[in-house]
Chains A and B, each alone.
Chain A
Amino acid sequence: MAILVDKNSRVLVQGITGGAGAFHAERMIAYGTNIIGGVTPGKGGQRVCDRPVFDTVEECVRETGADVSVIFLPAHFVKEAAIESIRAGIRFLVVIPEHIPIHDMLHVREEAVKHGTTVIGGNTAGIITPGEANLGIMPDIAFQPGRVGTVSRSGSITYYVADTLSRTGYGQTTCVGLGGDPVLGSTFAEILLKFEEDPKTKAVVMCGEIGGVYEEKATDAISRMKTPVLAMVGGVFAPPGKRMGHAGAIVEGRMGTAKEKLEMLADAGAHACKTFRDIPATLKKLGV
């Protein structure tokens, strides 16, 4: 099984007529992803990758039954495109672009919560359910169908973890990129709980990094999960990062260093891993 997307997901691409949109739509289709069409305002009626293009998401949903959307648009169009999809009833939204204004993502998140839509990104490599659907920019070569879920803030780390799971025979159920932006559509906690509900996922590898607060916010979910969680946090040896400022530090408390994050995750019951090699070793110990 899979979380969030599988071979039956009916996926639309927002920005399918653009260079990046068309290029990746073709890649996703080649992988077997069920891309049913695209949306570019003003270009309704065209075809790209032999799929119909619509002017609005609402039309696309009505005509094709699309339920998932991937956004390939310049950052400053993302807020409107995301809210359009959320209001049109899209249940899962993947936001690939980076450099989305922070205030815009706050708006998108509020709208998503109101309508019950799950959003990942911005600045995510996407999501892949190996053998079924690949939404975003992840390289196919790293992934094999299997029994471990992954969730990470970084694209490159997702690839290394999946590569490790593939070469050691564990494979993956679904790999989710949370994204690298300061304000994200989803948190670790929310994605972990979706894996918890998936009977095929026998363990989850979560990879965090220095800065932000989403790792700390995951501890409650981890302590309640039956599915084992393996945790890596990048930046243990990183030089002290730039702080957001005084008020930001108050709001976020004394959180943020990789070492503290890893300790908190371990206290909540996660199995800490230092390098990718530790992942298969830990899975073996857990009998996964």
Chain B
Amino acid sequence: MRLYEFEGKHLFSKAKIPVPDGHLATSAEEVYQIASNLDRPVAIKSQVLTGGRGKAGGIKLADGANEARTVAEELFALKIKGFPVTMVLVEPRLTIQREYYIGVTIDRANYKLAVIASGEGGVDIEETAANSPDKIVRTSLSVHEPLYTFEAMGIAKKIGIPQEQIKPAAAIIVSLFNLFKKYDAKLVEINPLVLTDENKLIAADSRVSLDDDALFRHPELAEMGIEKRHEEGEMTPREQKATEWGIPYLDLDGNIGMFPGGAGFGIMGNDFIHYYGGKPANFMDSGGGPSPERIAKMLVLLDENPNVKAIFGARFGGISRCDDFAKGVVMFLKDHGLSKPMVMRMTGNMWQEGVRIFEHAKAENPRLFEHIEFHGIETEIEEISRRAVELAEEGGR
């Protein structure tokens, strides 16, 4: 879960990392009030959960309150990578002598925590790493170890922090590392850490990404008003609906509706369809042990999508049982009826029971199953993929 800049700065501030005296505003009029009170040149920064905000014109400077109101009106009319700007952060403008980069993240390959620092801040750190790796200082630590002040001082020296600023810089680096651990973060970044003309170090921006799976340990975040939210990116209406239903779902630009079991085959089934010359309309994962209701909702998403010409169903029952799967399909057929052809394969845990449920429902009402080709373990999954592509071509004609 990614935090807004102002939320990250709130955590920084609690951890005694200096941040500008910022205020959140949701209208140009509020911006005017805040700028009047600050009575200094200000920076007005749109609060959106996406990168590249500066390049998209999402950060504006103003010399006085009137100018602040004018540029704020422009910001509130803006969409950044599809995100409408509904909040801005108003801060006293910093005078910049130098900019640095400090980040902490998880080094998954080596099972370590990594502190990354650079004397070149305020720029895309990924580019710095690619073009001049010598400008990146990297420190690896076990999850059990603290980051000692002497180590942080070493980092500060290596990235060229001036002598008189070494101690406050080390304190900031240690605080950032402790904050990373305290909140079970995946990533925390100060970019840039600014050395002002007044020789003060201050975190000009924040980037914080937390581990959703550890949020249960941090009720204090909810108390601060920081709530769980979608990670990043604009959602299509269908993705929005799927998210509300708790179904991992992504729209793609093809015409074959993908109705798989686990995420693993969700990803690989997408490849299979391409290998056989087709294009999936979506990516979807049922999650472990889905209820019949959830299975039915997955089919609703596919049936309602006008781009879907055929549906490719695959279920290898592990923790997800075939009988629940079959119940879900039947529930959908009875409530909605299927308007597209579907080819599916079902095997694994409780498959006999699943087949029995299908046969029973079909005997009751054969018309429900008119457009469904049903296969078991006797048919290779490749054959099902190929057939789905064929059905989509027929449907597309």
Interface set of A (CB-CB < 8 Å, partner B): 75-76, 98-104, 106-107, 109-110, 125, 137-139, 141-142, 152-157, 159-160, 163-164, 167, 180, 182-183, 207, 209-210, 212-214, 216-217, 232, 234-239, 242, 244-252, 254, 258, 274-277
Q: B292: CB under 8 A from chain A?
A: no
- Which residues in A have their C-beta under 8 angstroms from that of B144? 107, 110
Q: Which of A100, A110, A216, A236 contacts B111 (CB 8 A)?
A: A110
Q: When chains A and B are docked, how far (Å) is the Cα of A170 from the Cα of B263?
A: 26
Are A156 and B316 CB-contacts (below 8 A) given A163-B347, A246-B124? yes
Q: B328: CB under 8 A from chain A?
A: no
Could you show 30 A-B contacts with beta carbons less than 8 Å apart? A99-B213, A102-B106, A102-B213, A107-B143, A125-B318, A139-B348, A142-B348, A155-B318, A156-B261, A156-B262, A164-B380, A167-B377, A180-B263, A183-B108, A213-B108, A235-B268, A236-B274, A238-B270, A245-B105, A245-B187, A246-B103, A246-B191, A247-B116, A247-B125, A247-B187, A248-B106, A251-B105, A251-B138, A254-B130, A274-B271
Q: When chains A and B are docked, how far (Å) is the Cα of A151 from the Cα of B387?
A: 29
Q: B211: CB under 8 A from chain A?
A: yes
Are A103 and B231 CB-contacts (below 8 A) given A157-B265, A244-B209, A277-B382? no
- Which residues in B have their C-beta under 8 angstroms from that of A157? 262, 264-265, 268
A98 touches B187 (CB 8 A): no
A234 touches B264 (CB 8 A): yes
Q: When chains A and B are docked, how far (Å) is the Cα of A250 from the Cα of B116?
A: 9
B143 touches A110 (CB 8 A): yes
Interface set of B (CB-CB < 8 Å, partner A): 103-109, 111-114, 116, 124-126, 129-130, 136, 138, 142-144, 181, 184, 186-187, 189, 191, 207, 209, 211-214, 216-217, 231-233, 250, 252, 260-268, 270-272, 274-275, 283, 288, 316-319, 347-349, 351, 377, 380-382
7 A-B pairs besides A125-B318, A251-B138, A252-B108 with CB distance below 8 A are A100-B213, A102-B184, A139-B348, A154-B263, A159-B316, A163-B347, A246-B189
Q: When chains A and B are docked, how far (Å) is the Cα of A237 from the Cα of B270?
A: 7
Are A213 and B109 CB-contacts (below 8 A) given A139-B316, A153-B264, A156-B318? yes
CB-based nearest B residue for A109:
B111
CB-based nearest A residue for B270:
A237
A138 touches B318 (CB 8 A): yes
B168 shortest CB reach to chain A, Å: 22
A154 touches B105 (CB 8 A): no
- Which residues in A have their C-beta under 8 angstroms from that of B186? 102, 244-245, 248
A33 shortest CB reach to chain B, Å: 16
Q: When chains A and B are docked, how far (Å) is the Cα of A254 from the Cα of B268?
A: 22
Q: Which of A210, A239, A277 contacts B250 (CB 8 A)?
A: A239
